[in-house]
Structure 1
Amino acid sequence: MDGKGWTNWAEGVAFGLENGMAVIPYALLKHYRKLGLSGSEAMLLIHLLSFRQVEGIEFPSMEELQQVTGRSISVIAGELQKLMKEGFISIDGDNDELRDIHYERYNFSGLYSKLGSYLAEAAKQSAQGQDKGAFAPDLRAAAHHSGAAAPDGGYGRPAAPGAGVEAEESRSLFSIFEKEFGRPLSPMECENISGWVDQDRYPEELILLALKESVFAGKLHFRYIDRILLEWARNRVKNAQDVKNYSQKFRNGGR
Structure 2
Amino acid sequence: MDGKGWNTWGEGVAFGLENGMAVIPYALLKYYRKLNLTGSESMLLIHLLSFRQVEGIDFPSLEELQAVTGRSIPVIAGELQKLMKEGFISIDGADDELRDIHYERYNFSGLYAKLGTYLAEVSREKAQEKPGQAGREPGARAVAHHSGTPIPDGGGNGRLAVPGDKEAEGGRSLFSIFEKEFGRPLSPMECESISGWVDEDRYPEELILLALKESVFAGKVHFRYIDRILLEWARNRVKNAQDVKAYSQKFRGGGR
TM-score (norm 1): 0.86
Pair 137,10 (structure 1): closer, same or farther in 2 beyond 3 Å: same
**Map of 1:43 onto structure 2:** 43
Cα deviation for residue 162 of structure 1 reads 7.6
SS of alignment partner, residue 111 of structure 1 = helix
- Which has the larger displacement, 8-17 or 228-237? 8-17
Matches within 5 A, 1:1-255: 1-129=1-129, 134-138=135-139, 160-161=158-159, 168-251=169-252
Cα deviation for residue 168 of structure 1 reads 2.8
> What are the Cα deviations for residues 107-141 of structure 1, in whole angstroms up to 9, with x where unaligned?
101000000001000000011125675221128xx
Q: How many residues are paired up?
A: 241
Pair 175,61 (structure 1): closer, same or farther in 2 beyond 3 Å: same
For the aligned residue pairs, the C-alpha RMSD in angstroms reads 2.6
Q: Which runs of 5+ in 2 are unaligned?
A: 141-149
Letter in 1 for 2:171: S
Contact 1:170 1:193 (C-alpha < 8 Å) held by counterparts? no
Structure 1: how far apart are the matches of 2:254 and 2:37?
53
Contact 1:81 1:194 (C-alpha < 8 Å) held by counterparts? yes
Pair 97,165 (structure 1): closer, same or farther in 2 beyond 3 Å: farther
Cα deviation for residue 221 of structure 1 reads 0.6
Cα deviation for residue 70 of structure 1 reads 0.7
Pair 79,49 (structure 1): closer, same or farther in 2 beyond 3 Å: same
Pair 167,227 (structure 1): closer, same or farther in 2 beyond 3 Å: farther
> What are the Cα deviations for residues 199-241 of structure 1, in whole angstroms up to 9, with x where unaligned?
1111111001100111111111111101110111011000111
Contact 1:166 1:197 (C-alpha < 8 Å) held by counterparts? no
Structure 1: how far apart are the matches of 2:5 and 2:29?
31
Structure 1: how far apart are the matches of 2:89 and 2:64?
18
Contact 1:20 1:54 (C-alpha < 8 Å) held by counterparts? yes
Q: Which runs of 5+ in 1 are unaligned?
A: 140-149, 154-158
Contact 1:205 1:240 (C-alpha < 8 Å) held by counterparts? yes
Pair 87,234 (structure 1): closer, same or farther in 2 beyond 3 Å: same
Percent sequence identity is: 80
Structure 2: how far apart are the matches of 1:36 and 1:89?
14
Contact 1:169 1:204 (C-alpha < 8 Å) held by counterparts? no
Pair 71,101 (structure 1): closer, same or farther in 2 beyond 3 Å: same
Cα deviation for residue 47 of structure 1 reads 0.4
Structure 1: how far apart are the matches of 2:85 and 2:166?
15
Pair 37,190 (structure 1): closer, same or farther in 2 beyond 3 Å: same
SS of alignment partner, residue 92 of structure 1 = strand
SS of alignment partner, residue 32 of structure 1 = helix
